[in-house]
Amino acid sequence: MLAYPESAGGADDMGAFVAVFETLAHHDLSLLVKFGVQFGLFGGSVQHLGTERHLDVLRRAGTAELLGCFAMTEIGHGSNVREIETTATYDAESREFVLHSPSETAGKNWAGNAARHATMATVFAQLHVGEEHHGVHAFLVPIRGDDGRALPGVRIADNGAKMGLEGVDNGRIWFERVRVPKDALLDRFARVSDDGEYESPIPSDTKRFFTMVGTLVGGRISVGTAGVSVAKSALAIAVKYAIRRRQFGQPGEPEMKIMDYQTHQTRLMPQLARTYALHFAMRDLLERYRTATAEGEDLQAVEARAAGLKAYATWHGRDTLQVCRECCGGEGYALVNRIGAFMNDFEIFTTFEGDNMVLVQLLTRGLLSGYRRQFTNMDFFGILRFAKDWAQQKVEGINPMSGRSTDAETLRSRDHHLHVLHVREQQLLSSVAARLKKRLDAGLEGVDALNQVQDHVVSTGLAHVERITYEAMCDGIDACEDEALRARLDLLRALYGVHCLMEHRAWFLENGYFQGTQSRAIRDEFLALCAQVREEASALVEAFAVPGAVLAAPIAVSPSGHS
Amino acid sequence: MLAYPESAGGADDMGAFVAVFETLAHHDLSLLVKFGVQFGLFGGSVQHLGTERHLDVLRRAGTAELLGCFAMTEIGHGSNVREIETTATYDAESREFVLHSPSETAGKNWAGNAARHATMATVFAQLHVGEEHHGVHAFLVPIRGDDGRALPGVRIADNGAKMGLEGVDNGRIWFERVRVPKDALLDRFARVSDDGEYESPIPSDTKRFFTMVGTLVGGRISVGTAGVSVAKSALAIAVKYAIRRRQFGQPGEPEMKIMDYQTHQTRLMPQLARTYALHFAMRDLLERYRTATAEGEDLQAVEARAAGLKAYATWHGRDTLQVCRECCGGEGYALVNRIGAFMNDFEIFTTFEGDNMVLVQLLTRGLLSGYRRQFTNMDFFGILRFAKDWAQQKVEGINPMSGRSTDAETLRSRDHHLHVLHVREQQLLSSVAARLKKRLDAGLEGVDALNQVQDHVVSTGLAHVERITYEAMCDGIDACEDEALRARLDLLRALYGVHCLMEHRAWFLENGYFQGTQSRAIRDEFLALCAQVREEASALVEAFAVPGAVLAAPIAVSPSGHS
């Protein structure tokens, strides 16, 4: 497959892999998930956690000769992977691992490809060697024979009907002392010698765990990118419909295009601007991942960024679908017009590959600790040390001239947006650190302290994501050589920035950065920008270049010349 | 049927009808819609627009001996019913009306029951008698024979697969000069004499039109009530799951119940409070409707209230489902756990029985014009007269003592909330009137003037709905005789009020009603109230009294003693 090394028959091109993912997301999300599970999760786990001895498996995964699934989540543990129950016990005598589900809740859950197609699974389990427990490791376990039946000791159940993604065979898997050879351990970060000696280049259990699950980063980049794709499809459909559909108007005149109503503009145009912003942010993320991987850099910062952008982009995809459905009225509800089908299928993207709420908090903890892996799992004293630094840091104030400005030029300007978004992020980081420190100093348990500021932690993570998304958009615009195109992109940038400021104006007002006059001016500017972007809306959705045969919605077919 | 007069075999009990609707909404939404179309829309149109000569149809509709549908919306016209294309031309010679669809877009659209079951339709069409056009009227038109086939001249097509409500046979209907006898006209508000004289007790075309479509009010009350029911079901499922499901926690301790996480509380508890508030508001609305009907009062104010509450309650239902799905993670996506099924089926409730965006604007125009029907259809000079009064009105300021208060008692108090919500509504009404007046004075066309302040018009309508919802909740609490219960309801009231204030804090800050300190205090109070309501959450969802067999979700089965 495209992303795999050439030694396994791949093209060593992660960018090409994500491009396929991005494109499939315009078409059918069940197919997308089947593709992602087979080549991304299953193959990717072999690629990133395995070694040379697993190259043949990887090669066969890449040609789809070997179909696999990814069995990490359990019935009892979704987000908290470290506490999964499945065990893998080394039997030195036979040089085998024994995979076992000690309870009903230890069953692997929601594994795509498991219910019908996969013959092999990457299974995450607690490794026990002799008396010692070494935490979660991954194993290649055959689960189904060529006849399609579960192998002895393996029990598989279909997860049943879902609200969407009906083309994906999600399943549960339990193991009853299933034996696999020693080579089944994906042993890049830990190996067991024949006589039962455990060794790992990463001595810390916590660090090793996060290094292993860090390999999920590719999936999160892909899933976030799919969020941008569905937003593009939905906006293309809704805008094309809205510039053709007419309803109400001045008596005696043709009815008005619904795209000309202010509420239609204020609903669709900010989503369009954010879609463009995220288009650049996801590209930038992929490039950072490729660079870091190629240069052998530490991936923590990229992982944190991917976690935040996955959450932001999938929430954006979901919200955009929702708004577009409503803007298309009854026609939006017909499956033939695609938006409803996307809604049913896409809904779970905010949960899988990491629950969005959990991912945003992971990002904030990364920000607080300077992306040190050892602190990402509730090591509060570690976090505290860094929190102290943050808490003591003097946050730069907003330039009074800029904060008090009400003229359109300033309110739309890149410098103003960058400055204000940056100040907000720093201020939130600093105050969350201070509040955390206060609670820990007062003797509160780490979990409780963090829980009392959880709302704040989430806002902080999202503030960071908005700032980096905005920056990536600016960089993308700077790299654009066509002047006319740059001007249009800059209009979208202005709307994205003004919309961010407007959404957080309560915070800016509360903290004295804005006065009421600025806040009202920002809202007026927002309305003006929506109207201005609306004039370009038709061209801006055409630019997504989703072919008509792929977009396929009958309501999106517009006679030429409409705008 | 329950709501029909006794003379048609009914029980004359609208309350009982809505209670059935409310209850069915906990079970299956396709069945609910089939029920609503047959007895509410079809039967209701005969009841409210017909006369004694239609009693037999009404009786047979009530026993489901005669299955019907409601054909108002057309392919080309959804919200703008006044511009539908279907014509009904009186033929004095044969004493018949000729129903005709002059174009493809004149086809009736999305009519439930039409694609398969209905043998008769209430068809809305432009009435032409001789040379004169009298606007939209309703006719009873047989569309299908006992053999299930469309009658001659009638063409019926299925609307096709939808994102939900797959148990509803929505269809399109076109007429090719179909003749019906003179009695087919539902003639409560207009009749045609044998020799072709048109007469109506309501001389104004506009007023007559709005009087006729005003009969939709029952449907809007029912649909809004269903929004509250789905919110109750979803919250019962999500809360029961969240008090049992554990994930993460302090090392060495049992993992934490997810209900104890702050983000879980801030997501679910405000929805719970608003659900209770809307429970009282929908009851209050129904009571107003019954009283007004029984006493022969004008229904305009009730219609406007129903329009606003239908929008608010269905958006609430949708948002609650969304939040609950996400709070249940992957389990929320399984159809067996109901929330996903409700999402697919409920999504369109924000569009049907009146698009929410349109309904909220209808309400605001009603507020501006003092609920005068003649101004609800874009008579801007009429609205302007009232807008002037509003624009000149001195809006009461917020009591500085109360607006500047940061103590918990004041911030939670009923007086404070009522006062603040009232001031916000009045201020928005007054400023939207002033802005409208300014534009009309400057010579802008009415449609354009209204469109430039549309965003503001929507905020104004929603501010009104929040205030009346809050008031209805207070009245409901006052009427509760159990002191312990009253205290619990009062806690929900406090949360609902504080949440409203928090959501609009940018507006209050912008307009100088709150300072930053109050705004921050409100957020702290919000967090405290969420934690406090969480302690009662289990009992509060049990109180919805949805039987386990109806709730049915496996994740909602909790061993006793959990909370």
The strand pairing partners of A123, in sequence order, are A71, A139
Average pLDDT on A133-154 reads 97
Q: Predicted confidence band at A383 (pLDDT cuts at 50, 70, 90)?
A: low
pLDDT at A563 > cutoff 80: no
Contact A256 B348 (CB under 8 A): no
Q: Predicted confidence band at B493 (pLDDT cuts at 50, 70, 90)?
A: very high
Task: From B173, B175, B144, select the one nearest B157 (Cα to Cα).
Answer: B173
pLDDT for position A390: 63
Q: Which residue from A80, A159, A329 is facing B78, i.e. has the nearest CB?
A: A329
Query: Which of helix, strand or coil describes residue B276?
Result: helix
Q: Is B220 exposed, middle or buried (0-12, 13-18, 19+ CB in 10 A)?
A: buried
User: How confident is the model over A42-84, as pLDDT tens digits?
Assistant: 999 999 999 999 999 999 999 999 999 999 999 999 999 999 9
pLDDT at A292 > cutoff 80: yes
Task: From A50, A41, A52, select the one nearest A17 (Cα to Cα).
Answer: A41
Q: Which residue from B73, B83, B510 is facing A509, i.e. has the nearest CB?
A: B510
Using left for φ > 0, alpha for ψ between -120 and 50, and beta otherwise, residue A424 falls in alpha
What interhelical angle do A454-478 and A356-369 show, nearest 10?
80
Query: Which of helix, strand or coil describes residue B198?
Result: strand
pLDDT for position B561: 63
With beta carbons less than 8 A apart as the criterion, state whether B141 and B180 touch.
yes
With beta carbons less than 8 A apart as the criterion, state whether B125 and B99 touch.
yes
Average pLDDT on B143-168 reads 97
User: How confident is the model over A414-432, as pLDDT tens digits?
Assistant: 999 999 999 999 999 999 9
Chain A residues with CB under 8 Å of B83 CB are 255
Q: Is B84 exposed, middle or buried (0-12, 13-18, 19+ CB in 10 A)?
A: buried
Task: From A75, A530, A507, select the one nearest B246 (Cα to Cα).
Answer: A75
Interface residue B554 vs chain A (CB under 8 A): no
Contact A510 B527 (CB under 8 A): no
Average pLDDT on A488-504 reads 98
Q: Predicted confidence band at B127 (pLDDT cuts at 50, 70, 90)?
A: very high
- Cα distance from A562 to chain B (closest Cα, Å)? 18
- Of these ranges, A442-451, A492-501, B194-203, the one predicted with the greatest mean pLDDT is A492-501
With beta carbons less than 8 A apart as the criterion, state whether B284 and B475 touch.
yes
DSSP run (H or E) holding A97:
strand A96-100
Interface residue B252 vs chain A (CB under 8 A): no
DSSP character at residue B254:
P
Rounded to whole angstroms, the Cα distance separating A168 from B295 reads: 58
Query: B189: Cβ–Cβ under 8 A, 6 or more apart, which residues?
Result: B49, B200, B201, B202, B208, B211, B212
Phi, psi of B506 (to 5 degrees): -60, -40
Q: Specify the pTM.
A: 0.96
User: How confident is the model over A301-346, as pLDDT tens digits?
Assistant: 999 999 999 999 999 999 999 999 999 999 999 999 999 999 999 9
CA torsion angle B425 B428 B431 B432 (round to 10): -110
Query: A446: Cβ–Cβ under 8 A, 6 or more apart, which residues?
Result: A378, A379, A380, A381, A383, A440, B250
Residue recorded with tokens 């999600």 = A170
Alpha helices in B370-407, H assignment, sequence order? 380-392, 400-403
Average pLDDT on B495-518 reads 95
pLDDT at A231 > cutoff 50: yes
DSSP states of B473-535: HHHHHHT---HHHHHHHHHHHHHHHHHHHHHTHHHHHHTTSS-HHHHHHHHHHHHHHHHHHHH
DSSP states of A419-468: HHHHHHHHHHHHHHHHHHHHHHHTT--HHHHHHHTHHHHHHHHHHHHHHH
Contact A506 B505 (CB under 8 A): yes
Average pLDDT on B183-207 reads 94
Task: From B102, B103, B75, select the one nearest B87 (Cα to Cα).
Answer: B102
Task: From A538, A544, A529, A488, select the one nearest A243 (Cα to Cα).
Answer: A538
Task: State the complex-level ipTM.
Answer: 0.96
Average pLDDT on B427-450 reads 91
Q: Which residue from B326, B356, B447 is facing A249, i.e. has the nearest CB?
A: B447
Q: Quote the tokens at residue A459.
A: 């806002």
Average pLDDT on B59-77 reads 97
The strand pairing partners of A171, in sequence order, are A111, A158
Rounded to whole angstroms, the Cα distance separating B465 from B421 reads: 10
CB pairs under 8 A between A and B: 174
Average pLDDT on A11-20 reads 93
**CB environment A25-41: b (16+ within 10 A), e (fewer):** bbbbbbebbbbbbbbbb
pLDDT for position B446: 85
Looking at per-residue pLDDT, the higher value among B293 and B234 belongs to B234
Rounded to whole angstroms, the Cα distance separating B198 from B540 reads: 57
Phi, psi of B121 (to 5 degrees): -135, 140
Rounded to whole angstroms, the Cα distance separating B99 from B86 reads: 7
Contact A344 B348 (CB under 8 A): no
Contact B336 A109 (CB under 8 A): no
List the 320-379 stretch of B: residues with Cβ below 8 A of A: 325-326, 329-330, 332-336, 340-341, 343-344, 347-348, 350-352, 355-357, 378
pLDDT at B213 > cutoff 90: no
Query: Which of helix, strand or coil describes residue A346?
Result: helix
Query: Which of helix, strand or coil describes residue A349?
Result: helix
pLDDT at B400 > cutoff 80: no
pLDDT for position A131: 94
The strand pairing partners of B142, in sequence order, are B120
Residue recorded with tokens 């499922």 = B237
What interhelical angle do B454-478 and B414-441 show, nearest 10?
150
Interface residue A251 vs chain B (CB under 8 A): yes
Task: From A127, A132, A467, A93, select the one nearest A312 (Cα to Cα).
Answer: A467
Query: A491: Cβ–Cβ under 8 A, 6 or more apart, which residues?
Result: A529, A532, A533, A536
User: How far lies B273's CA from each of A453, A519, B507, in Å?
Assistant: 22, 30, 22
pLDDT at A561 > cutoff 90: no
AA letter at A442: A
The strand pairing partners of B138, in sequence order, are B124
pLDDT at B428 > cutoff 90: yes
The percent of residues above 70 in pLDDT, for chain B, comes to 93
- Nearest C-alpha in B relative to A335: B162
Chain A residues with CB under 8 Å of B516 CB are 509-512
> Rg of chain B over CA atoms, in angstroms?
25
Rounded to whole angstroms, the Cα distance separating B552 from B563 reads: 19
Average pLDDT on B514-530 reads 95
With beta carbons less than 8 A apart as the criterion, state whether B456 and B501 touch.
no
> Rg of chain A over CA atoms, in angstroms?
25
Residue recorded with tokens 């009695």 = B183
The percent of residues above 70 in pLDDT, for chain A, comes to 93
pLDDT at A558 > cutoff 80: no
Rounded to whole angstroms, the Cα distance separating B470 from B476 reads: 10
Contact A506 B511 (CB under 8 A): no
CA torsion angle A507 A510 A512 A515 (round to 10): 90
Using left for φ > 0, alpha for ψ between -120 and 50, and beta otherwise, residue B395 falls in beta
For chain B, how far is it from start to end, CA to CA, in angstroms?
Answer: 41
pLDDT at B375 > cutoff 50: no
User: How far lies B157's CA from each of A86, A339, B30, B170, B174, in Å?
Assistant: 54, 22, 19, 9, 9
Chain CA centroid to CA B480, Å: 26
pLDDT for position A236: 98
Residue recorded with tokens 């229904």 = B299
The strand pairing partners of B156, in sequence order, are B173
Task: From B311, B317, B303, select the one nearest B461 (Cα to Cα).
Answer: B311
Rounded to whole angstroms, the Cα distance separating B509 from A508 reads: 10
Please tell me the least confidently modeled range out of A9-23, A321-335, A359-373, B66-80.
A359-373
Chain B residues with CB under 8 Å of A159 CB are 334
Average pLDDT on A125-144 reads 97
Average pLDDT on B420-426 reads 95
pLDDT for position B559: 59
pLDDT at B394 > cutoff 70: no
Interface residue A203 vs chain B (CB under 8 A): no
Rounded to whole angstroms, the Cα distance separating B245 from B258 reads: 6
Rounded to whole angstroms, the Cα distance separating B191 from B189 reads: 7
AA letter at A315: W
Interface residue B519 vs chain A (CB under 8 A): yes
Q: Is B253 exposed, middle or buried (0-12, 13-18, 19+ CB in 10 A)?
A: exposed
Task: From A523, A508, A497, select the one nearest A274 (Cα to Cα).
Answer: A497
Q: Which residue from A159, A325, A348 is facing B347, i.e. has the nearest CB?
A: A325
Q: Quote the tokens at residue A62.
A: 């890449």
Q: Predicted confidence band at B392 (pLDDT cuts at 50, 70, 90)?
A: low
Q: Quote the tokens at residue B411.
A: 């911030």
Interface residue A447 vs chain B (CB under 8 A): yes
Q: How many CB atoms lie within 10 A of CB B375?
A: 22
Interface test with B, best of A77, A324, A447 (most B CBs within 10 A): A447
Rounded to whole angstroms, the Cα distance separating A125 from A101 reads: 9
